[in-house]
Chains A and B, each alone.
Chain A
């Protein structure tokens, strides 16, 4: 009968080791492995037949690198309780740094991506210094400054970014083989995504992760518990920027061209939107929120296409305004989310799991 149970209603652990796993139940672990497996087989082609279309593959890659960036921001905002309006700038810095190291120092892309992460981490810690002293709205403004300083730097530092012309980034190379097509690059992004998510999940169940949450929940008592507030606040910026840097580098070698304009404040706000929708303080929520934010415009695009193909498509107000309406609906979706699902998609997912655990006897 045991095989029948999708989810057991009681977990009886006999060792501390079993009590500290990433996945709370064997079922949730299997579920995650299944998800990974699906991601691995998704781009496979069988002759003429392929599981996902190139468009969807592009979206999956996009979700992949953006979700790494979102996870980084979630560590900073969701777990440590800081705020950053400059995340896109760090994302951009990672993109330029990887391209720069690859072009100017012929460091292979394989190494330049993690190195870009480390370099961005250093920059992030530098710009995170104000966090040691200020909080809340004041910190938001301070990080806004870092967004503009870095954007300006991108536009002026020709040696680093190629200035207004932008920088060319080489395709990913592994042992002399170029992995340039979407299909093979997808696996690079998938690898990084899984690795970064596992790192974050581990971080959150060990000493420094707990320290971050302690700083968020009650910084005064965190300090009395022996936590160095300054270090952890700055470190949180560092780790968040490390994630942003890796994500940016993956983005650069995917598009193979980095332009100065792509890393504006709007992207920073989008990152914040992703983690709010996904769930602040949830590792998997970062991925869910990113998927939501990437797919929502696509769905809206589809809906807009459907509207324009009906009779309404002839009304000038709609044909001209459809793009604005699309943006407005995205904004509306976020507002509705904040009202009805303030804890994010991750919370909704937990509720669904709790429901199934007791199904059909919910009392």
Chain B
């Protein structure tokens, strides 16, 4: 992981339009294998749109996205998941009526083989054996994220912080090589944020997952990221090491809010 610079994700010059609105204009960046990469930017900058392009929910009108060297721009989200891409959502997207355990087991979907035929004859087609193997895997993730006390609870009844954690567990269950986290710490208290930051660092360092994270908490972003990219008005305005980003004038103006006329300057750029 150290020193290697093999890109796992190559985003090349993508543009995304919704009618007349340009959500992303000519965004390019690479994420290296094993990296913890953060994307920051003001609200409406296009961060989530960018993540949606990567995970396959939107498809950009221009440009290309390569994952593990493979062209995925036109690929469906479920196909990308099979290739090893997992994500969480900004607004919780758990399966609200399922138990936490079942939510996590859904994450194992692409790693399992039993289907409606072998699943129907549960005991005879090997489905039971497979289910139990994957159950064990799910329990490992439950242990890691410390949610064993709620494994049988219905996901929709949990508190916000726990739901965020279950959503992370579900994405981890995919065993992705690249995990996309959309504001994993939004709306959490300090303690929960610290826990979440620890999980993310562990996922990156011990589980070997490449992480792309959108986050507003600058403290966390600067502490744990290896590289940071700044988006504003759908454009990649800066990219680099955390301390470089912190000292970048444009970033200070556009995002960190150093000067009062930041918005005017930024809109001049777009016009």
- Is B132's CB under 8 angstroms from A207's CB? no
Give Cα A226–Cα B108 distance, bound, in whole angstroms: 9
- Is A211's CB under 8 angstroms from B109's CB? yes
B94 within 8 A of A: yes
Smallest Cβ distance from A280 to chain B, in angstroms? 10
Given the known inter-chain contacts A199-B120, A205-B131, please indicate yes or no for A227 contacting B97, CB distance below 8 A: no
Q: With contacts defined as CB atoms under 8 Å apart, how many contacts are there between chain A and chain B in the complex?
A: 117
Give Cα A206–Cα B118 distance, bound, in whole angstroms: 9
One digit per residue, 1 when the CB lies within 8 angstroms of any chain B CB and 0 when it does not, for chain A 213-250 equals 11011101111111111000001000100000000000
B41 within 8 A of A: no
Tally of chain A residues near chain B (CB < 8 A): 33
A332 within 8 A of B: no
For A196, give the chain B residue with the smallest CB separation. B120
Stretch at the interface among B73-81, B196-204, B219-227, B233-241: B73-81
For A238, give the chain B residue with the smallest CB separation. B116
One digit per residue, 1 when the CB lies within 8 angstroms of any chain B CB and 0 when it does not, for chain A 17-32 equals 1011000000000000
Give Cα A200–Cα B122 distance, bound, in whole angstroms: 10
Give Cα A202–Cα B116 distance, bound, in whole angstroms: 9
- Is A226's CB under 8 angstroms from B122's CB? no
A281 within 8 A of B: yes
Stretch at the interface among B6-14, B18-26, B98-106, B263-271: B98-106
Give Cα A210–Cα B227 distance, bound, in whole angstroms: 37
Give Cα A214–Cα B173 distance, bound, in whole angstroms: 15
Given the known inter-chain contacts A223-B78, A225-B109, please indicate yes or no for A214 contacting B95, CB distance below 8 A: yes
- Is A224's CB under 8 angstroms from B57's CB? yes
Smallest Cβ distance from B212 to chain A, in angstroms? 14
Given the known inter-chain contacts A16-B135, A221-B93, A224-B57, please indicate yes or no for A209 contacting B110, CB distance below 8 A: no
One digit per residue, 1 when the CB lies within 8 angstroms of any chain B CB and 0 when it does not, for chain A 269-283 equals 000000000000100
- Is B122's CB under 8 angstroms from A206's CB? yes
- Is B96's CB under 8 angstroms from A217's CB? yes
- Is B77's CB under 8 angstroms from A223's CB? yes
Give Cα A206–Cα B134 distance, bound, in whole angstroms: 11
Q: List 18 A-B contacts (CB under 8 A).
A: A203-B116, A206-B114, A206-B120, A206-B127, A207-B109, A208-B119, A210-B102, A213-B102, A214-B95, A220-B57, A221-B95, A224-B86, A225-B106, A226-B78, A227-B78, A228-B78, A235-B116, A281-B97
Taking Cβ atoms with an 8 Å cutoff, the residues of B that contact A are 55-57, 76-78, 81-82, 86-87, 89, 93-98, 102, 105-110, 112-116, 118-122, 127-128, 131-132, 135-136, 139, 170, 174
Q: Give 8 closest A-B pairs by Cβ, nearest first.
A: A206-B119, A226-B81, A226-B110, A217-B95, A221-B93, A202-B122, A199-B120, A208-B116
